[in-house]
């Protein structure tokens, strides 16, 4: 009986490790750069990216499938909600690089922010894709323009 339990846990662990993207470990490790000084920033960027992907990429696929107007309005509302609930994160490496170029943050902070943004994306897309398959929803992706709608 214990052997079956151990085999089940081992199988779950192996499946879990296979599911994780290879870059995720590097992303998490980056959160402790600078003796953890930027850990809170990393968490905000990680969660903010997950929220942004969920709230903006679902528009047109899961919400507003029959109307591009509805899809784009939901997409815009998703951007606002992700920013509000995430606490004002940047969620976009291009934004972070622009802020770095303007001298509004140092290199280490920018590095940790981008690592958090990439980590959130590395988790979000496989997670939401698995969710769409499990629920038999339209495959996950961003809003798109289609002249036939």
Query: What would the two tokens of residue 6 be?
Result: 């151990």
pLDDT at res. 17: 67
Indicate the pTM of the whole model. 0.78
Q: How far apart are CA 76 and CA 62, in angstroms?
A: 15
pLDDT at res. 113: 94
pLDDT at res. 65: 75
pLDDT at res. 140: 73
pLDDT at res. 68: 78
Q: How far apart are CA 77 and CA 70, in angstroms?
A: 10
pLDDT at res. 146: 62
Mean pLDDT, 10 residues at a time, the chain of 149 residues: 70 70 88 91 91 79 78 83 81 92 94 94 86 82 60
- Give the orientation angle of helix 23-30 with respect to helix 107-134, to 10 degrees: 140
Query: What would the two tokens of residue 148 be?
Result: 């036939």
Contact 127, 142 (CB under 8 A): no
Query: What would the two tokens of residue 14 be?
Result: 């192996």
């Amino acid at each position: 009986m214990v052997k079956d339990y151990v085999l089940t846990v081992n199988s779950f662990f192996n499946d879990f490790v296979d599911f994780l993207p290879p870059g995720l470990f590097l992303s998490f490790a980056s959160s402790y750069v600078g003796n953890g000084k930027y850990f809170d920033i990393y968490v905000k960027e990680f969660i903010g990216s997950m929220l942004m992907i969920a709230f903006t990429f679902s528009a047109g696929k899961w919400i507003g499938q029959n109307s591009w107007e509805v899809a784009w309005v939901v997409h815009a509302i998703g951007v606002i909600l992700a920013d509000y609930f995430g606490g004002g994160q940047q969620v976009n490496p291009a934004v972070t690089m622009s802020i770095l170029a303007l001298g509004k943050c140092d290199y280490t902070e920018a590095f940790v922010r981008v690592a958090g943004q990439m980590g959130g994306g590395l988790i979000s897309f496989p997670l939401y894709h698995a969710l769409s398959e499990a629920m038999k929803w339209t495959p996950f992706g961003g809003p798109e323009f289609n002249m036939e709608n």
